[in-house]
Amino acid sequence: MIARCQVDYVGRLTAHLPMAQRLLLVKADGSVSVHSDDRAYKPLNWMSPPCWLIEDPDVWTVQNKAGEKLVITVDEVLHDSKHELGAEPGLVKDGVESHLQELLAEHVTTLGDGWSLVRREFPTAIGPVDLMCRDEAGKSVAVEIKRRGEIDGVEQLTRYLELLNRDPLLAPVSGVFAAQQIKPQARTLAEDRGIRCVVLDYDKLRGIEPDEYRLF
């Protein structure tokens, strides 16, 4: 609803929004929020669920279990509509780990001249390694890729390396921990375990021309 209204909050403290034109949102989860034109996504005031809304002719009263109230006094309704948004498919982020893996697999020489890709999602008994590669000397290298490199990712790669190095056909297997950003603690742990850290430039990876032959 878009309405000329005033808003009073009564609870642990009191707050007052004087009469003005505002956007009132009532969502399916029961939450009610009051917005203006100058605060981007952040509401001026709100009531989070669980709460309930009582609609009188010119007053909305929103109350929660703690007895806090949001009282919205409506002077004039400019627009009122209701829409079912349906199921939310979720946010699809550009630059997620799967896309980074795809880009790095295509441009594996980013990790070193003469490198080659053996396989993406190389299977192990405890889960797939993001990339299995061979370096310029033909030695096996396991590559773990993250958007943000943290200690958990280093631990994950360490477990893969321990398992892979038991295979005489692969050993010795070294490790590369690749991420768009690597936290200092993760870098320290990785380097202590002999794992090389590589910071990935996502924009640069996207801008590299593929190795496929093209007519134009």
Domains of the chain (ranges; CATH) run 2-79 (2.70.180.20), 95-206 (3.40.1350.10)
Q: Is the pLDDT of residue 173 over 70?
A: yes
pLDDT-derived band of residue 90, with 50, 70 and 90 as boundaries? low
Over residues 6-54, the pLDDT tens digits come to: 999 998 888 999 999 999 999 988 899 999 988 767 899 999 999 999 9
Q: What is the mean pLDDT of the segment spanning 159-179?
A: 95
Each residue's pLDDT tens digit, 203-213: 888 875 544 44
Measured between alpha carbons, how far is 68 from 65 in angstroms, rounded to an integer? 7
Secondary element (H or E) of residue 131 = strand 129-134
* Contact status, residue 45 vs residue 18, Cβ threshold 8 Å: no
DSSP state of 189: H
Question: How many C-beta atoms surround the C-beta of residue 130 within 10 A?
Answer: 23
pLDDT band at residue 95 using 50, 70 and 90 as cut-offs? low
- Per-residue confidence (pLDDT) for residue 214, from 0 to 100: 43
User: How much is the pTM?
Assistant: 0.55
90, 177 contact by CB (below 8 A): no
Give ∠ CA 50-55-56 in degrees, rounded to 5. 150
